[in-house]
Amino acid sequence: MKKTWVFFIGTLLLMAIVCCSGFAAAKTKMVVWTYMEGQTQIDTLNWMFKTYNESQSESEIVLQYVPFADFKKQLSVGMVAGKLPDLVVIDNPDHAAYAQMGLFADLTKYIAKWPERKAYFPGPWKSTTLNGKNYGIPFTSNCLALFYNQEMLKKAGVTPPQTWSQLRVAAKKLTSPGVFGLGMAAVKSEEGTFQYLPWLLSSGAKIDQLGSKQSIQSLTVLADLVKDGSMPKEVINWTQADVEKQFAAGKLAMMVNGPWNIPEVKRDAPGLKWSVVKIPRDKVYSSVLGGENLGVVNGKNVAAAWKFLQFVGSPKLVKEYSVRFNMFPPRQDVAGDKTWSEDPVMSVFMDQMKYAMPRGPHPKWPEISNAMITALQEVLTQAKTPEQAAKDAQTKVDAVLK
C-alpha cells in the first residue's frame, strides 16, 4: 500500500517537473478562436500566425477552429466556465454584445498611442467600439452587391436594375420556368438580417424605426417580388452559400451576395458569364458592413496580444491577408491599392463599401436582429401584412432599447 503511494506521488512530481520546465523556457502560448473555414482561409490564418511566431521570441499564436453554429455558445459557456482563448476573431455585429458582457479587454489606452488607428474606415472601426472605448481592431471587411447573369439579361433585353421599381420589372422579365429573377438569403439567423439590411437602409429607415413608412416599403418591395413569382419563397430557408449554388446552377438570374462567394461561383460555374452592380436603391445606395474583428480576451496576456494586433494591423500585412482571403481591407490606404480598384468586380464592391453601414454597434444587437428577420419572414410567407409585421417588429425593438 505504502509503496503504491510513493509511486503515485513520485509520478505526479515527475509530471509536474516535466510540464513546468517545458513552459518556463518556451514562449507564451496564445490561442485564437475562429469560425473561419475553407482551406483558403485556414491556410491564410496559419501563414499569418507562422510569420508572426517566427518574427519574435515572446509569444506563440495557435489557431483553434470552432464551427460558426457553435461559436457564440462556446464563448458564452467559456465565459462562465473560465475556458477561454486569448484572442477571438469575432463576427462584427457580435463585438459589442461580448464587450458589454466583459469578454473583451478594454484596449483604449493602447490604441490611443497607436498611429495606425487613423487609417481605418469609420464603419469597421465603429464596430470595434462600445460607449467610446476600444475593444479590438477590424480584421476583414465585406459588403453585399447584386450579381447578375450577363447572358440571361441580354436574352431578356434587360439592363442591370438600379432602382427598386426597375428591379421589380427586370426580375419579372427574367423569370421563366425553372429560373427565378432574383435570389437572396432570408434564413432565420444573422445571415438573413445581413441580407435584409441593405433594403431597409436604402429606404431611409433606421434600425430603431422598424415601424416607419420607409421600413414598411422595404418589406413590401421584397414581398412583392415573391408575390410576382420573381423570387422563390424558399429564400426563407436559404443561407448565402445556398443562394450562390442556385445562381451558379443557372436557377437565378440575379442574386445578392458578398465578395467571398466570387471564388465559389468561379469554381462551381467556370463558364458562366456574370458581373456585379450595386444593390438597387430606393432613396440612397446602401449596403451592409460584414466582416470580422479581432478582440483580445480579458486575461493575463493582454499586453502580448496587443503586440500581435499591431502586427496584424500593419499596412503590409493587411494587404497580404486581404488578397489571400478575397475580402476587403478595413484600411483606407490599403483599399486604394490597384488589387481592388482595377478589378472590374472588386471595384464595384469597393464602391459599394462606401455605403456599407455597420450593424449596431449595440450590445443587444442579436435581439434587434431577431426582430428584423422575423418581420421579413412574416411578410415573405404572407403570414402578416408588411404594415402589421413592421408594427410588431417596432414593439419588440422598443422593448429592447428602452
Partner 1 sequence: MKQDCNADQNQLTGFWFVLPALLFMAAFIGYPIVYNLILSFQDVGVMTLNNPVKEWVGYRNYLQLLGDPLLKTVLANTFYYTIACIVLQFSIGFALALLFNRSFRLAKSIRSLIMIAWLMPVTITGLIFKFIFSTNGGLINEFLLGLHWLSKPIEWLLQPSTAIWALIITNTWIGIPFNMILLITGLSTIPREVYESASIDGASPWQQFIHVTAPLLKPAIEAVLILGFIYTFKVFDLVYVMTKGGPVNATEVLSTFSYRLSFTEFSFSKGAAVANILFIVLFMVSLGYLRLIREEEGM
Contact 229, 183 (CB under 8 A): no
Question: Residue 48 or 182: which CB sits closer to partner 1?
Answer: 182
Cα angle 350-355-361, degrees, rounded to a multiple of 5:
115
Contact between 395 and partner 1 by CB under 8 A: the answer reads: no
Q: Which is nearer to partner 1, 59 or 370 (CB)?
A: 370
The verdict on 102 binding partner 1 (CB under 8 A) reads: yes
Any contact of residue 28 with partner 1 (CB under 8 A)?
no
Which residues, other chains included, contact 302 with Cβ-Cβ below 8 Å and sequence gap of 6+? 105, 107, 296
Q: Is 377 in the site for partner 1 (CB under 8 A)?
A: yes
Asked if 383 interacts with partner 1 (CB under 8 A), we say yes
115-129 burial: b if 16+ Cβ within 10 Å, else e = ebeebbbebbbbbbb
Angle, vertex CA 397, rays to CA 88 and CA 395, nearest 5: 160
Contact indicator for 36, 47 with CB cutoff of 8 Å: no
Q: Looking at 212, 366, 385, 391, which residue binds partner 1 (CB under 8 A)? A: 366
Residue nearer to partner 1 on the CB measure, 130 or 262 = 130
Helix (H/G/I), strand (E/B), else coil: 382: coil
For residue 338, give the nearest of 356, 353, 319, 325 by alpha carbon.
319
Candidates 95-103, 257-265, 276-284, 304-312; binding stretch for partner 1 (CB under 8 A): 95-103
* Residue 97 in the binding site for partner 1 (CB under 8 A): yes
3-state percent breakdown (helix, strand, coil) of the chain, nearest 5:
55, 15, 30
Distance CA 167, CA 257 (A): 16
* DSSP per-residue string spanning 260-315: GGHHHHHHH-TT--EEEEPPPBSSS--EE-B-EEEEEBSSTTHHHHHHHHHHHTSH
Cβ atoms within 10 A of the Cβ of 84, count? 18
Rule CB under 8 A: say whether 236 interacts with partner 1: yes
How near is the Cβ of 40 to partner 1 at its closest, in Å? 25
Q: Which of 28, 189, 339, 388 binds partner 1 (CB under 8 A)?
A: 189
Interacting span for partner 1 (CB under 8 A) from 25-33, 228-236, 259-267, 330-338: 228-236
Q: What stretch of H or E contains 347?
A: helix 344-353
For partner 1, the closer of residues 172 and 364 by Cβ is 364
* Residues touching partner 1, count (CB under 8 A): 26
Q: Which stretch binds partner 1 (CB under 8 A): 49-57, 108-116, 252-260, 360-368?
A: 360-368
- The distance of closest approach from Cβ of residue 334 to partner 1 in the complex, given in angstroms and rounded to an integer, is 33
Q: Is residue 363 near partner 1 by the rule CB under 8 A?
A: yes
Minimum CB separation of residue 358 from partner 1 in Å reads 18
Measured from the CB atom, the residue of 40 and 189 that comes closer to partner 1 is 189
Q: CB under 8 A: which stretch of 157-165, 310-318, 324-332, 369-377 binds partner 1?
A: 369-377
Q: State the nearest-atom distance from the C-beta of 7 to partner 1, in Å.
A: 24
Measured from the CB of residue 261, what is the shortest distance to partner 1 in angstroms? Answer: 21
Q: H or E stretch including 106?
A: none
Q: Which of 211, 136, 190, 106 is nearest to 365 (CA)?
A: 190
Name 163's bridge partners: 281
87 is a site residue for partner 1 (CB under 8 A): no
Residue 188 is a binding residue for partner 1 (CB under 8 A): yes
Sole binder of partner 1 in the list 140, 214, 326, 370 (CB under 8 A): 370
Q: Shortest Cβ distance from residue 298 to partner 1 (Å)?
A: 10
- Dig out the grid coordinates for 90 from the structure: 469575432
Grid coordinates of 247: 445562381
Name the minimum Å distance from CB 336 to partner 1: 37
- Which one of 48-56, 116-124, 132-140, 181-189 is the stretch in contact with partner 1 (CB under 8 A)? 181-189
Q: Which is nearer to partner 1, 53 or 100 (CB)?
A: 100
Task: Measure the CA–CA gap between 55 and 395, rounded to whole angstroms.
Answer: 53
> Residue 64 burial by CB count (10 A; 0-12/13-18/19+): exposed, middle or buried?
exposed
What are the residues binding partner 1 (CB under 8 A)?
72-73, 76, 79, 97, 100-102, 187-189, 232-234, 236-237, 363-364, 366-367, 370, 374, 377-378, 381, 383
